A and B are shown apart, each in its own frame.
Chain A
Amino acid sequence: MDNLTDLKISGMGKTAGGKFRDIKISGNGEIEGDVQANTLNISGMGKVSGKTVAEKISVSGMGTLSGDVKCSSIKGSGSLLIDGFLAADILHASGSISVRNGIKSRYIRSSGYINSGDGVEAEEFRSRGEFNISGLLNANNVDVVFGWRSYAGEIGGEDIRIRHMKYMLSFILSIFGKKDRLETDLIEGNNIMIEYACAKTIRGNNIMIGDNCLVDLVEYSGKLEISPSAVVKNKVKV
């Protein structure tokens, strides 16, 4: 990458894709075509209308990447839309990240909002915000503290912890009958702990169903604990 040049768009500009060293978009910039770079930095409004391959991606403004994205680390503190598949090693979301065709990243950490149109795979999925995952959330470690609402089609892994964040607004909303809820069809894992969750089926070894849960069926092979405020319609020891 020695003889590559940097690309900087700080006013309003449109340029063709290609290979660069560092790309910085701080105004309103668009790159047409595939790009490959060491770093891609969007702090204004930036768009890549092609595939993106980069070592580091950081978006603090509004970014749109309209093809598949491959990188080792990606940080989104603004609003990022990926109209393809995201493959990364580390994903940090503190703003909003929306990915159309699914995410595979060894490590995912979010304090913002993650939206995925397909499954999400990670070794560690740690969320302190909200998420909406159409498909399977498959992670060795799922550690979620959510407020308001979150959804995943299915959740599977080894250790799954889903907790609820208490905050002022949730109390006010509960007066109006709007309850915080994490919704999913199925949770499967070795050790499962949930709170404020609504699930059709939960299967695992050791399961703890915490406050305000609504579960149709629990199948467990080890220990099962159920909070008095939870509703479990059927439980089977297998």
Chain B
Amino acid sequence: MEEGDLITKKELLKLTGISYGQLYRWKRENLIPESWFIKRASYTGQETFFPREKILGRIAGILELKDKYSLEEVADMLSPELTNRIFNSGDLRDIRAFDSEVRETFEKNLGKSYFNFIELIFIFIVSKLIKESVISSLHIDEFIESMKNWFPVLNSTSFMLIVFEKDTVRFFLLARQDSRIFHDNGTREITSYDLDEVSKELNLILQDQLKK
């Protein structure tokens, strides 16, 4: 997994026009995840870097939403670790982005009809995987079994889900965002999902849904 393009804090402030005070406030409000603050030694001492695209997207989002909503509401929209909402099957049925078969398999395998946000993220991802034909519906069961072990450790969305392929076998890997992954030459990365991004997308869908 490559590290991607980084931006220094100074550059970020210049580019977006926000102040140190705002940046520190948003950090306190959990609008910017801790894992995005990357400390690196530089010739002037220590500098803080951010993943460029993610932070620019996030700041644009905050600036757009902050006039319409309170910071707490914005935090709820942008960082799911704060949303403690529970969704029932009825709520889920209304969400068009969820594949009905995937939804039913989740209900069956987890043995419940109430889901938290993290579980919703995975229903969403599996729906995407089916839609993009990365996995077939035959493999959903197997995949959900693995997820059962993941849920207890997922206390935030600072994770990546990566799909690899070797020969014709697909496999899934869950990794922390700040970790680097090295695989052998025969293995190919097919696709990956940044849980932060997916949750943002899902949040927007849910916001729309709730308005109706």
Contacts and interface: CB of A to CB of B under 8 A. Distances in A.
A158 interface: yes
B46 A186 contact: yes
B19 A190 contact: yes
Interface of B: 9-10, 14, 19-21, 23-25, 27-28, 44-46
Nearest to A236: B44
A6 B28 CA distance: 36
A156 B24 contact: yes
A157 B24 contact: yes
Most buried by A among B20, B27, B44, B46: B20
Contacts of B9: 188
B20 A189 contact: yes
B164 to A, nearest CB: 36
A157 B21 CA distance: 5
Contacts of B21: 140, 157-159, 189-190
A121 B27 CA distance: 10
A123 B24 CA distance: 10
Contact of A138 (B10, B27, B44, B45): B27
A205 interface: yes
Dominant secondary structure at the A interface: strand
30 contacts: A121-B28, A123-B28, A138-B28, A139-B24, A140-B21, A140-B25, A140-B28, A156-B23, A157-B20, A158-B19, A158-B20, A158-B21, A158-B24, A159-B21, A185-B45, A185-B46, A186-B45, A186-B46, A188-B20, A189-B20, A189-B21, A189-B24, A190-B19, A190-B20, A201-B45, A201-B46, A203-B20, A205-B20, A217-B44, A217-B45
A200 interface: yes
Interface residues of A, number: 24
Contacts of A205: 19-20
Nearest to A137: B24
A138 B24 contact: yes
Interface in A167-217: 185-186, 188-190, 200-201, 203-205, 216-217
A172 B140 CA distance: 75
A201 B46 CA distance: 9
A1 to B, nearest CB: 22
A89 interface: no
A219 interface: yes
B40 to A, nearest CB: 13
A204 B9 CA distance: 12
A201 B28 CA distance: 22
A74 B23 CA distance: 28
Interface string A216-228: 1101000000000
Given A139-B24, A156-B24, A204-B20, 16 more contacts: A138-B28, A140-B21, A140-B28, A156-B20, A156-B23, A158-B25, A186-B45, A188-B24, A189-B24, A190-B20, A200-B45, A201-B44, A201-B45, A203-B20, A205-B20, A217-B45
Nearest to A122: B28
Nearest to A216: B45
